[in-house]
């Protein structure tokens, strides 16, 4: 059984990653995995901190491992370890070296970077609308550092989904 083609939706907060991951997975008939950081944040009454970086990374790896073990031809991830690296550096100034190495070793087949062209909405987890443009560059830099070739995805609604499918080329066809 061949490993599935792994597609990751990544980018600054409130850029439609979860909506696009669900929509893209549905359009491709593929499973998707949720964002590990959000799962950790929603499971605890305490705010995320430097102490939650490693648990987030371990959960992201477990979600990825489960997806890799599936019989699916393609899987869609709502973020991966690259997000953990970017956010850890941004909020806490550093990221454990093992997470950076795992991000490189687990590099996905395709990264779709959601641009911050959607309205920002507070939800109790998101907190820095003014930082989205700077974060976009941080994501691009982190992807470059692991040798990934990302595609930017912008637009709203059906146009954003169409842009994501176009970025996948033959993999985005029904």
123 has a pLDDT exceeding 70: no
- According to the model, what pLDDT value does residue 64 have? 95
68 in a domain, yes or no? yes
- According to the model, what pLDDT value does residue 22 have? 97
168 in a domain, yes or no? no
173 in a domain, yes or no? no
Asked if 93 and 22 touch (Cβ cutoff 8 Å), the reply is: no
For residues 101 and 111, what is the distance between their CA atoms, to the nearest angstrom?
A: 17
The share of the chain scoring above pLDDT 90, in percent, equals 77
116 in a domain, yes or no? yes
For residues 174 and 29, what is the distance between their CA atoms, to the nearest angstrom?
A: 8
| Kind of pairing between the strands at 151-153 and 32-33 | unpaired
The share of the chain scoring above pLDDT 70, in percent, equals 95
Q: Is 2 helix (H, G, I), strand (E, B) or coil?
A: coil
Q: Which two tokens stand for residue 166?
A: 């176009």
118 in a domain, yes or no? yes
User: Mean pLDDT for the chain?
Assistant: 92
25 has a pLDDT exceeding 60: yes
Which of these ranges, 36-40, 45-49, 120-124, 159-163, has the smallest mean pLDDT? 120-124
CATH classification of the domain holding 147: 3.40.50.300
At 63, the pLDDT band (50, 70, 90 cuts) reads: very high
Asked if 56 and 95 touch (Cβ cutoff 8 Å), the reply is: no
The number of distinct structural domains making up the chain is: 1
Q: Is 133 helix (H, G, I), strand (E, B) or coil?
A: helix
Is the model more confident about 174 or about 95? 95
170 in a domain, yes or no? no
Q: What is the mean pLDDT of residues 138-153?
A: 96
- According to the model, what pLDDT value does residue 124 have? 63
- According to the model, what pLDDT value does residue 138 have? 95
167 in a domain, yes or no? no
At 11, the pLDDT band (50, 70, 90 cuts) reads: very high
160 has a pLDDT exceeding 60: yes
174 in a domain, yes or no? no
Expressed as residue numbers, the domain containing 93 is 5-162
State how far the alpha carbon of 104 is from the alpha carbons of 74, 98, 101, 143, in Å.
20, 10, 5, 9
For residues 140 and 54, what is the distance between their CA atoms, to the nearest angstrom?
A: 22
Q: Which residues contact 67 (CB under 8 A, 6 or more apart)?
A: 4, 6, 31, 33, 75, 77
Which ranges constitute the DSSP H helices of 44-96?
A: 53-68, 81-92
Q: What is the mean pLDDT of residues 26-31?
A: 95
Q: What is the mean pLDDT of residues 112-125?
A: 83
At 39, the pLDDT band (50, 70, 90 cuts) reads: very high
């Amino acid at each position: 059984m061949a490993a599935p083609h792994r597609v990751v939706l990544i980018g600054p907060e409130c850029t439609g990653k979860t909506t696009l991951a669900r929509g893209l997975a549905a359009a491709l008939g593929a499973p998707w995995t949720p964002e590990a950081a959000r799962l950790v944040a929603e499971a605890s009454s305490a705010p995320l901190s430097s102490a939650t970086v490693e648990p987030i990374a371990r959960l992201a790896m477990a979600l990825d491992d489960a997806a890799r073990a599936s019989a699916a031809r393609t899987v869609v991830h709502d973020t991966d370890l690259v997000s953990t690296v970017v956010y850890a550096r941004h909020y806490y100034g550093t990221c454990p070296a093992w997470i950076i190495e795992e991000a490189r070793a687990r590099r996905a087949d395709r990264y779709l970077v959601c641009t911050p062209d959607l309205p920002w909405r507070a939800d109790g987890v998101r907190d820095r609308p003014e930082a989205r443009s700077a974060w976009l560059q941080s994501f691009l830099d982190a992807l470059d550092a692991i040798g990934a070739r990302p595609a930017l995805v912008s637009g709203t609604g059906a146009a954003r989904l169409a842009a994501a499918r176009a970025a996948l080329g033959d993999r985005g066809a029904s």
